[in-house]
Amino acid sequence: MTSDIIYGEVARGFETVREVFAGHFESGEEIGAGFCIYKDGAPLVDLWGGHQDRQKTKPWEQDTLIGVFSCTKYITALVAALCVERGEFSYDDTVARHWPDFAQQGKGDVTIAQLLSHQAGLSGITDTEWVASDWFDLEKLEATLAAQKPLFAPGSVSGYHPVTFGPLANAVIRRASGRTIGQILREEIAGPLGIDFHLGLPEAEHGRCADLRKPSAMADFGEPNAATKAAFFNKHGSPGGRGITLWRETEFGGSNGHGTAKSLARLAQMVLDGAIEGTSFLSPDTLAALTKTRVSGMNLVLPFDLNIAAGLMKNTPNHFYGPSDDCFGHSGWGGSCLWADRETELSGAYVMNKMSNHLLGDPRPRALIEAVYAAL
């Protein structure tokens, strides 16, 4: 019985959300997953279920961790905003002000806001000698990105940076603050609030991680251009060759955060009013700068019309995260997502280990989100 593998609680009136969640297991769409909605500092919905492995021998537990890929970009955006709040840099600063080597190949005028909104022209690494294991060499990685010629004119358009976003953001944040993204997250946000989300997961926690089942088919990118090919089609376009243990331990601020749906839903709250459950992090001015649209229109890499803020994606025009226009979120490879809706003051997240090939707007979280709004 599917009900035997679904756990957690839903507030009165939200029983249909549990039914939708269970239905995804009954239809075979899920192996293991979690879904959580927060309002006023407390969960309205907190569900988990299924199994950690495809053999279905290990139950998905309340504290099971899973890699959420590009959902990590939302968390990196929060850390960057905290640096802005503390005066360590401004979104309008050039990247080169804090990282002088970045000015090579005509990148001297790229601002931090443009970097975080995928306008730097570095959607992937083009060095023909680059191999997957080189991603773990931080010095080589940053030097390669700093020296690389942009794939498109910086500031002219947005071209999604799936993997390079993390090391680019980390290079600026580390130089400006003296700490990495993961360190700031642990020391200032997740650690003090007891939020079970990690960027740079200690090996002692790896036993809690679920296995990922990768999608069986490639996503549809349309006719790929040079920026798309560098982002998604290069043989060594993402970290590899060093084993999953090192991959989990290394900080890739755009692609390898690990957490639960609950941890993501809690972190997402910061975009509502600059605070998480009463702990204030961002002033109204910094929050406005974080959520300001920095670029809009057809993305050069992803086949979508997107409104992108400083590391966040606005819900319009696609409404992947419900009906609200004043809503910000991010999705990760395979279907995971998190968002914060300032109209309803809801934040939420979905995670899973059976990955789909939907680039954005996976039908599973969309169905769950629709059930939440129908129940409001």
What are the structural domain ranges in the chain?
Answer: 69-317
Evaluate if residue 145 carries a pLDDT over 80: yes
CA 334 → CA 54, 213, 255, 287, 354, distances in Å?
15, 9, 12, 29, 7
Lookup: tokens for 353: 């280990």
Q: What integer pLDDT is reported at residue 187 of this predicted model?
A: 98
Q: What integer pLDDT is reported at residue 216 of this predicted model?
A: 85
Within the chain, residue ranges assigned H as helices are 15-26, 72-85, 95-98, 112-116, 138-147, 165-177, 181-184, 191-193, 226-228, 244-249, 261-268, 270-273, 284-291, 363-375
Q: Which of the following CATH numbers is that of domain 69-317: 3.40.710.10, 3.10.580.10, 3.40.50.300, 3.60.20.10?
A: 3.40.710.10
The 10s digit of each residue's pLDDT in 33-45 is 999 999 999 999 9
The phi and psi torsions of 172 (rounded to 5 degrees) equal -75, -50
> Quick one: what percent of the chain has pLDDT higher than 90?
96
Q: What integer pLDDT is reported at residue 4 of this predicted model?
A: 80
Across all residues in the chain, what is the average pLDDT? 97
Mean pLDDT of 261-267: 98
- Strands 279-280, 295-298: pairing is unpaired
Q: What integer pLDDT is reported at residue 2 of this predicted model?
A: 65
Strand partners, 7: 48
The 10s digit of each residue's pLDDT in 72-99 is 999 999 999 999 999 999 999 999 999 9
Mean pLDDT of 152-166: 97
The 10s digit of each residue's pLDDT in 207-224 is 999 999 999 888 889 888
160 three-class SS: coil
Q: Looking at this protein, which amino acid is placed at residue 271?
A: V
CB atoms within 10 A of CB 197: 24
Confidence of residue 3 (pLDDT cuts 50, 70, 90): low
The 10s digit of each residue's pLDDT in 99-134 is 999 999 999 999 999 999 999 999 999 999 999 999
- Strands 66-67, 258-259: pairing is antiparallel
